[in-house]
Structure 1
Amino acid sequence: MLVLLPPSETKAPDGDGAPLDLAALGTPELTPVRERLVRALVDLAADPPAARTALGLSPGQDAELARNAALCTSPTTPAIQRYTGVLYDALAVRTLTRAQRARADRRLAVGSALFGLVRAGDPIPAYRLSAGCTLPGLPPLRALWRRALGPVLAGSGELVVDLRSAAYQSLAPVPGAVTVDVVSVRADGSRTVVSHANKAHKGLVARLLATTTAEPDGVVRVRALLRRAGLHVEHDGGTALTLVLRPS
C-alpha cells in the first residue's frame, strides 16, 4: 500500500543530514525533472523580485528565498519530518514505535512540487515551491510532472490511497486510487468541508494506514479499517470514501 500525502508550505528548518543528493532519493526516474527544478529555483533565488512574483511571496518572506538559494548546500532531514503543520501534527511520526515507523517509511510518500514524490525516509532540505507555481523558462509544474510522475504512480502495482489536496493530485492523477474526503455535519444536518478539520483527520487516517499490521488490498478493506478505528466512513461505491464528522 502506498499512502500519498500532500506537502506543506511550512517546513522544519533544522536537519543534520548531508546536503541534497538527488541520486539518493527514491524513484530515480524522476531525477531529470528534479534536477531542472532545483537548478531553476537556485537561479531564481538570485533575483528576489522575480522570485517573489513566481513563488507568490512578499518581501517579508525572503527567508524562503534564502532556503531555495541554499538547496544544494543546506542540511537534510527525512521528508516525513521535514513537513510540518496540522496534518503532520496529527500523523505524529515521532511518537511511533520502531516497528510502526518502519511500516510508515515503507508506505508513506509525499507529493512534492519540487521532487515529484518523496518517500518518508528520503533526505530533503527545506524549500519553497507550491503546485500552482510556474518557474521562468519552464513549463507549468503540471505539465512537467504528469509526463514524469504520472506513469510511475499509475504503474506502482500497489494499492494507492491518495490523500493529496486537489492541486497536488492534478500534478499526477492516479487512476483507481482510494480517496478520502472529510466533511463536517452542521446542527441543521447540512455538510461543509472545513480546512483545518480536513487536514487533521487526514493526518489521523494516514497514521492508521501507515501503522496497521493489516495489508488492505482495496477500498472495502480500507473502509473497514477506518470504521474499526471508530471513524464514521461512508462509501457510495467506486473508490471514494467520505469521512463524516458529526457535531458533538
Structure 2
Amino acid sequence: MLILLPPSEGKTPADAGSPVDLATLSFPSLTDARQNVAIALAEVSGQKDALTQLGVGASLVHEVSRNTRLAHEPAAPAHSIYTGVLFDALGYQSMTATQKRKADAAVVVVSGLWGAVGFADSIPAYRLSMSVGLPGLGKLASYWKPRLAEAVAARAEGHLLVDCRSSSYAAAWVPDPDRTVAVNVFTERDGTRKVVSHFAKHTRGELARHLLTRRGKAPETPAQLAKAAAEKWSVELVPGTGRKAHALNIILAD
C-alpha cells in the first residue's frame, strides 16, 4: 500500500540541520528536474512581482524570500516540514516507532518543487503550489506529469494506491486506475451530500493514520481498503472504470 498525499500549503522550517541533498531524496531520477524547478523558483522569488507570480499574499513575503536560498536552508524530514490540518490529523509524532517506519515506507507526498518525496526525505521549507507556472517550465502539473509517470511507476507497481491528493496535485500524476482509490469526503444531512474541503483534509489525515496504525495486514485491494475504512466511518466504494480510478466515499454526519 502507498498513500499519496498533497503537501501542506504552509511549512514549518527546520531549526537546524544540513541543507537538502537532492541525490538522497526518493525517486533519484527526478534530481535534474528538481534542480530545474528550484532554479526557476529562486529566480521568480527574487523578483518584485514574486508574490503575484506565485499567487500568494503579502503576509507570506518571508516564505517567498526563503525560496531564493533553499540550497542553504536547513532541511528536516518531510513529516516535520509539512504541517497543517491533514498532517496534524495523521499525527506522525505520536506514532510508535513501528508505525513511523510503516509511514516512512508507505507515504509519498506529491510536490510542486520536488515532484514526489518520501515521508522521511530531508527537505527545507518552501513556498510553491502545483498550480503555479514557472518561466521556462510552464505549469508545474504539466511539467511533472511525464516525469512522475516514469519515476514513481516502479515504486507503485503491485501496490494499492490510496489517493488522498487534492485536484491540482492529482493532475501531476495519474497512476494505474485499477490499483488506485481516490478518497472523497462528504457531509450528509437529510439525504443531501456536500463536499467540504476542511473536513476532507482532516478526514484524509485520519484515514492515513488509521491505515498506518491499525492491526493486521495493509489493504491490498479497493474492497479491503473500504472494509478497513468502515471500521471508523460510513463509507461506500464506487468501482472504477477502465480509465477512472475507484472512489472511496467517506460520509460524515453533518
- Fold in common (TM above 0.5): yes
Aligned residue pairs total: 244
Confirm whether residue 36 of structure 1 aligns to residue 36 of structure 2. yes
Which residue of structure 1 aligns with residue 89 of structure 2?
Answer: 90
Confirm whether residue 174 of structure 1 aligns to residue 210 of structure 2. no
Secondary structure of the structure 2 residue equivalent to 1:145: helix
Which residue of structure 2 aligns with residue 161 of structure 1?
Answer: 162
Secondary structure of the structure 2 residue equivalent to 1:185: strand
Structure 1 residues 104-149: Cα deviation after superposition (integer angstroms, max 9, x where no partner) = 1110111101001110000000001101100122222122111100
Confirm whether residue 69 of structure 1 aligns to residue 76 of structure 2. no
Confirm whether residue 133 of structure 1 aligns to residue 127 of structure 2. no
Which residue of structure 2 aligns with residue 215 of structure 1?
Answer: 218
Deviation at 1:173, TM superposition (A): 1.3
Conserved 8 A contact 1:183-1:198:
yes
What amino acid is aligned across from residue 25 of structure 1 in structure 2? Answer: L
Secondary structure of the structure 2 residue equivalent to 1:127: coil
Give unmatched runs, 5+ long, in structure 2. 241-245
Secondary structure of the structure 2 residue equivalent to 1:3: strand
Conserved 8 A contact 1:108-1:210:
no
- Bigger proportion of residues as strand: 2
Deviation at 1:88, TM superposition (A): 0.8
Which residue of structure 1 aligns with residue 198 of structure 2?
Answer: 196
Deviation at 1:14, TM superposition (A): 2.6
Structure 1 residues 40-59: Cα deviation after superposition (integer angstroms, max 9, x where no partner) = 1122222132x222201233
Query: What is the root-mean-square deviation of aligned Cα atoms in Å?
Result: 1.4
TM-score using structure 1 length: 0.94
Structure 1 residues 170-207: Cα deviation after superposition (integer angstroms, max 9, x where no partner) = 01111221111000002x32110111111110000011
Give unmatched runs, 5+ long, in structure 1. none
Deviates more, 1:112-121 or 1:62-71: 62-71
Instruction: Measure, in 1, the Cα distance between the counterparts of 2:51 and 2:75.
Output: 24
Deviation at 1:70, TM superposition (A): 1.8
Share of identical aligned residues, percent?
Answer: 39
Instruction: Measure, in 2, the Cα distance between the counterparts of 1:185 and 1:96.
Output: 31
Q: Which of 214, 224, 227 lines up with 2:227 in the alignment?
A: 224
Conserved 8 A contact 1:17-1:123:
no
Deviates more, 1:36-45 or 1:53-62: 53-62
Which residue of structure 1 aligns with residue 19 of structure 2?
Answer: 19
Instruction: Measure, in 1, the Cα distance between the counterparts of 2:17 and 2:222.
Output: 37
What amino acid is aligned across from residue 172 of structure 1 in structure 2? Answer: W
Instruction: Measure, in 2, the Cα distance between the counterparts of 1:142 and 1:244.
Output: 29
Conserved 8 A contact 2:110-2:169:
yes
Conserved 8 A contact 2:141-2:168:
no
Conserved 8 A contact 2:235-2:248:
yes
What amino acid is aligned across from residue 53 of structure 1 in structure 2? Answer: T
Instruction: Measure, in 1, the Cα distance between the counterparts of 2:15 and 2:191.
Output: 46
Instruction: Measure, in 2, the Cα distance between the counterparts of 1:10 and 1:64.
Output: 9
What amino acid is aligned across from residue 162 of structure 2 in structure 1? Answer: V
Instruction: Measure, in 2, the Cα distance between the counterparts of 1:153 and 1:67.
Output: 28
What amino acid is aligned across from residue 241 of structure 1 in structure 2? Answer: L
TM-score using structure 2 length: 0.92
Deviation at 1:226, TM superposition (A): 1.1
Conserved 8 A contact 1:54-1:136:
no
Conserved 8 A contact 2:109-2:117:
yes
Conserved 8 A contact 1:3-1:210:
no
